[in-house]
Amino acid sequence: METQMLLRRLEDLAQLDTDAVQVYAEALEHVKDEDVRKEFERFQGEHQYHASTLSDTIVRLGGTKPDLKVDLMGRVADWVTAFRSMIGTKGPLHAMRTAEHYHNRRYGEAVEWDVGDEEVATMLKRFDADEKRHLAFVEERLGDSAPAGGGAG
């Protein structure tokens, strides 16, 4: 893949993760279940790490460090999360399932890129695995008939 195209795609992923940090922040305002809260905080931190690492990788590859801030898609996702979050912990879980499905699709595509750089390929696979783990947790929690830890659901 041509370097400039790779840089643009990595910046798009960094923006996706930047938006995810904000979406998790909104969801966390409504989560009642402490186990879910702890995992959401961890996932939020992982999205921040992804954005930071992707930015550093862009610079390493000769690009300019992106100016990442929540964009319109992030705002729309934030609003959807806020709306769904009005019904206790299950609302944020449903909202994050939607978001994590999208993240899984984007990172699933990214691991298929012909990046020509083993370090980048390994990073993308690791981040893809993180996204799969996030989605698996959310889906497992949504399958529970009663939330653990006595939280509202």
Query: What CATH number did the domain enclosing 44 receive?
Result: 1.20.1260.10
Q: Is residue 28 part of a domain?
A: yes
Per-residue pLDDT of the chain in tens (153 residues, 90 and over written 9):
899 999 999 999 999 999 899 889 888 888 889 999 999 999 999 999 999 999 999 999 999 998 887 665 555 565 566 555 556 788 888 888 888 999 999 999 999 999 999 999 999 999 999 999 999 999 999 995 444 443 444
Q: Is residue 112 part of a domain?
A: yes
Q: Is residue 97 part of a domain?
A: yes
Burial of 29 (0-12, 13-18, 19+ CB in 10 A): exposed
pLDDT for position 82: 59
pLDDT for position 146: 42
Q: What's the domain range around 102?
A: 3-144
CA dist 68 and 84 (Å) reads 26
Q: Is residue 150 part of a domain?
A: no
Q: How many domains, the chain?
A: 1
Q: Is residue 153 part of a domain?
A: no
CA dist 83 and 6 (Å) reads 35
pLDDT for position 152: 40
- CA nearest neighbour of 63 among 100, 11, 118: 11
Query: How far does CA 86 lie from the centroid of its chain?
Result: 21
